[in-house]
Amino acid sequence: MTAMVPPRHLVLRSPAQRVALRLPLRALVILALLTAALIVLTVLSLATGSYGVAPGEVWETLRGMTVSRAIDNVVWEFRFPRTLAAALVGAMMALSGAVLQNATRNSLADPSLVGVSQGAALAVVTMTVLFPAFSGGLRPWIAFAGSILVALAVRSLSHTSQGGSAIRFILMGIGLSAFISSITSALLTYGEIDRAMTALSWLAGSINATSWTDVRTLAGWTAVLLPSLLLTSRAMSAMQFGDATALGLGAPVALTRNLQLAIAVGFAAIATSVVGPLGFVGLIAPHAARRLAPAGMGLHLLLTGALGALLVLFADLVGRAAFAPVQIPAGLITALVGVPVFVVLLIRSRPANAS
């Protein structure tokens, strides 16, 4: 954790001073800035592409006016779902990472590093290749099942008699990921070529084919998972001080940890089932949020979500615009940004964690 310099706070009190909310000013300002940046990036994302649309025209279209049929179609049918999906997926991956880091007390945790994303990928590829008839609605559930199995495996494997260590935990995840990925690749070789191609483009972590149905799936699950996460945030902040202290503070540690794991896996699995494995977002966003503004757990989670949304939106935009007409999947951009961050975090990790 970074050293907490007491920041200035905004204190909200109910008239009779029954309820008071003390919010760090800096975090609030940054959350506002992030939201503004999200809006700007959204408009940019809607305007960018092979069919040029001016930002002004985007604005008009969003307000419900029809500038032209073509623009209406491009913005509403193609770019808007894609943009929303990018933002939602980013937020979900970021939150999943934040929760995993908290639950495992491991600052290097990320759904794609510990095999959760790969578990979802294997489950979805298995379904696409072997049982193409079952698709659509069942996909998130199957992804969830695959992820939770892997999460449980990593968890039970990395707990040895000496207790878990941060690096061992990640290495275990890397080993399991390699194993799962090899099965996924074998399935891809085995499958029909066109089904394999569908699965392959999805595996690169690409957002280009998202539809309104996907957005509805993502938004629906976020609407369920985010509030449940925020409900556990008090116990989460207690758990930052270690299990013993958290128990002493009256936090239901075991229950919270299982709940957190389920939520983290849920976020990662649903996001993965829609856009494919998207690496390192869950690693970067929580750390960036902590550096930008120290805040209580609830606000920290919101900041993390906003940052994750911003990151993936940005990655998608860069991947789309940098080498147009070739589209670079957002997952590759996040990996390119994420690895250096990972290395820096590794170098800065506390010696106690490093062994």
* Positions in the binding site for other proteins (CB under 8 A): 157-158, 160, 162, 167-168, 170-172, 174-176, 178-179, 181-183, 185-186, 189-190, 204, 279, 323, 326-329, 332, 335-336, 339-340, 342-343, 346-347, 349-351, 354-355
Tell me the HSE value of 259 on the side-chain side, using a 13 A CA sphere: 17
Q: How far is the CB of 350 from other proteins (least distance, A)?
A: 7
Q: Please name the residue ranges forming H helices in the chain.
A: 25-47, 55-62, 69-73, 80-104, 116-130, 139-158, 166-190, 193-203, 212-231, 233-239, 243-248, 253-275, 281-292, 297-321, 330-348, 351-354
Q: How far is the CB of 342 from other proteins (least distance, A)?
A: 5
101 Ramachandran zone, left/alpha/beta (phi>0; psi -120 to 50): alpha
Our CB check for other proteins shows the closer of 26 and 168 to be: 168
Q: How far is the CB of 118 from other proteins (least distance, A)?
A: 11
Backbone phi, psi, residue 23, to 5°: -115, 130
Q: How far is the CB of 332 from other proteins (least distance, A)?
A: 5
Distance of CA 311 to the CA centre of its chain: 10
Our CB check for other proteins shows the closer of 46 and 275 to be: 275
Which string of DSSP letters, residue by residue, matches 212-237? HHHHHHHHHHHHHHHHHHHHTHHHHH
Our CB check for other proteins shows the closer of 209 and 336 to be: 336
Our CB check for other proteins shows the closer of 241 and 323 to be: 323
Q: How far is the CB of 71 from other proteins (least distance, A)?
A: 28
Our CB check for other proteins shows the closer of 114 and 293 to be: 114
